[in-house]
């Protein structure tokens, strides 16, 4: 039994994952309880994901309380992802949060999911003022703090890097999430190579100024497969090209801002090859690269609890009329009043 009774609960439901997490009265994070929809075929359907979240919510929340030997009355605040994300999924999380908050009569805090990825990373890695490379399914952004906001210095102009990997994987019959499988196939292929060409097969350049675009790379990778290329070598090349593009704009952001730390976040930040490429780039610039533990890279309720805790300390709560979701909430829309 953990002897403290002022816990902030965080509820994450932006897309494929429903997750409940906690931070204690010092803001210390505890691993979340999560469940992810894994469709047998096709992509994530927002309504089906929302139904999954509704069906699983009760048992997941109960498991969390049991694991930490808590009663609902130990919860002193409830935080949830207000956006961005899939409308039906976000609505389920918001409804659960409103329900728990009103039942327990504790504050409700709607938070920005993207900013939560950033704050858990800063907390876990001990970075002070990093450039952030936020690489997830739906988002790919390079971000830096400036005058009270996390500013987006560059981002994808079409699809998120994770969606690109998942879609390419799906076309090869690999179920969601495809990113980790592509990583495995690429690593296995590399092991078979006596003389690996680090560049791999030719694919289009994904950098557009300070922005990125991935759909051309994905189409070209599919064409290589259609023309008989080995799946492992295409996975390797796809990773190399897509990650090199991210690293390039992250490096430019470090150079423009003069910051010395790079921080990775989002599900694709689980990838070991991407982590290595970032570390190499940072080392060459006499900077450092950091990535939180994988359970805090993928969507998780703990990061939502942490940001809720931080915002509550700043005196911010969300009233019932303001508690609606915002599918298109942007990273730079949220005011950062806390110290960075
Ligand atoms: P956001 O709402 O922030 O865009 P998200 O809904 O995409 O988040 P995350 O859990 O942050 O959810 O990221 C999921 C993505 O991460 C999926 O596209 C998945 O394929 C990808 N991913 C997870 N692990 C790896 C890995 N090891 N290598 C590459 N991609 C990965
Ligand atoms: Fe996410």
Predicted pLDDT at 1: 47
If asked whether residues 201 and 216 sit together in one domain, one would say yes
Predicted pLDDT at 40: 75
Task: Please choose from 111, 120, 137, 161 the residue to mutate so as to test ligand 1's pocket, defined by most ligand atoms within 8 A of CB.
Answer: 137
* Residues of the chain with confidence (pLDDT) below 70: 1-4, 196-199
If asked whether residues 111 and 140 sit together in one domain, one would say no
What is the extent of the structural domain holding 89? 7-118+297-333
If asked whether residues 264 and 325 sit together in one domain, one would say no
Predicted pLDDT at 42: 74
Cα(190) to centroid of ligand 1, in Å?
23
If asked whether residues 167 and 283 sit together in one domain, one would say yes
162 touches ligand 1 (CB under 6 Å)? yes
221 neighbors 238 (Cβ within 8 angstroms): yes
Task: Please choose from 267, 294, 328 the residue to mutate so as to test ligand 1's pocket, defined by most ligand atoms within 8 A of CB.
Answer: 267
If asked whether residues 159 and 176 sit together in one domain, one would say yes
If asked whether residues 106 and 135 sit together in one domain, one would say no
267 touches ligand 1 (CB under 6 Å)? yes
- Whether residue 124 is contained in a domain is answered as no
Count the domains in the chain.
2
| Residue 85 Ramachandran class (φ > 0 left, ψ -120 to 50 alpha, else beta) | left
115 touches ligand 1 (CB under 6 Å)? no
How far, in Å, CA of 275 to CA of 289, rounded? 8
238 neighbors 183 (Cβ within 8 angstroms): no
233 touches ligand 1 (CB under 6 Å)? no
The enclosing domain of 172 has a CATH number of 3.30.420.40
Predicted pLDDT at 198: 66
Predicted pLDDT at 315: 97
If asked whether residues 306 and 287 sit together in one domain, one would say no
- Whether residue 106 is contained in a domain is answered as yes
Cα(195) to centroid of ligand 2, in Å?
36
pLDDT digits (tens, 9 = 90+) for 237-280: 999 999 999 999 999 999 999 999 999 999 999 999 999 999 99
Predicted pLDDT at 124: 98
Predicted pLDDT at 109: 98
Cα(284) to centroid of ligand 1, in Å?
27
Neighbours of 167 (CB within 10 A): 17
Predicted pLDDT at 114: 96
């Amino acid at each position: 039994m953990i002897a403290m009774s002022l816990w902030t609960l965080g509820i994450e439901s932006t897309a494929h994952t429903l997750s409940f997490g906690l931070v204690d009265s010092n803001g210390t994070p505890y691993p979340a309880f999560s469940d992810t929809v894994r469709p047998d075929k096709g992509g994530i359907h927002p309504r089906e994901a929302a139904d999954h979240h509704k069906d699983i919510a009760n048992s997941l929340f109960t498991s969390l309380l049991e694991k930490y030997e808590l009663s609902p009355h130990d919860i002193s605040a409830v935080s949830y992802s207000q956006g961005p994300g899939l409308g039906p999924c976000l609505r389920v999380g918001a409804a659960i949060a409103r329900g728990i908050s009103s039942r327990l009569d504790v504050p409700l805090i709607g938070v920005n999911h993207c900013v939560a990825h950033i704050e858990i990373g800063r907390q876990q890695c001990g970075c002070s003022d990093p450039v952030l490379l936020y690489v997830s399914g739906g988002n790919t952004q390079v971000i830096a703090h400036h005058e009270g906001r996390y500013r987006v210095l560059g981002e994808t102009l079409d699809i998120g890097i994770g969606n690109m990997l998942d879609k390419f994987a799906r076309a090869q019959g690999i179920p969601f999430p495809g990113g980790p499988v592509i990583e495995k196939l690429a690593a296995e292929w590399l092991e078979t190579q006596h003389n690996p060409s680090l560049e791999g097969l030719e694919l289009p350049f994904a950098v557009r100024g300070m922005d990125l675009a991935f759909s051309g790379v994905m189409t070209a990778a599919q064409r290589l497969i259609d023309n008989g290329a080995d799946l492992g070598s295409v996975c390797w090349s796809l990773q190399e090209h897509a990650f090199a593009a991210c690293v390039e704009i992250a490096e430019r952001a470090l150079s423009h801002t003069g910051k010395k730390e790079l921080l990775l976040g989002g599900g694709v930040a689980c990838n070991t090859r991407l982590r290595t490429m970032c570390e190499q780039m940072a080392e060459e610039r006499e900077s450092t690269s950091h990535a939180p533990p994988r359970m805090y890279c993928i969507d998780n309720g703990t990061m939502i609890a942490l940001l809720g805790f931080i915002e509550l300390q700043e005196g911010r709560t969300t009233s019932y009329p303001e508690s609606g979701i915002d599918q298109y909430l942007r990273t730079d829309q949220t005011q950062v009043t806390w110290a960075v």
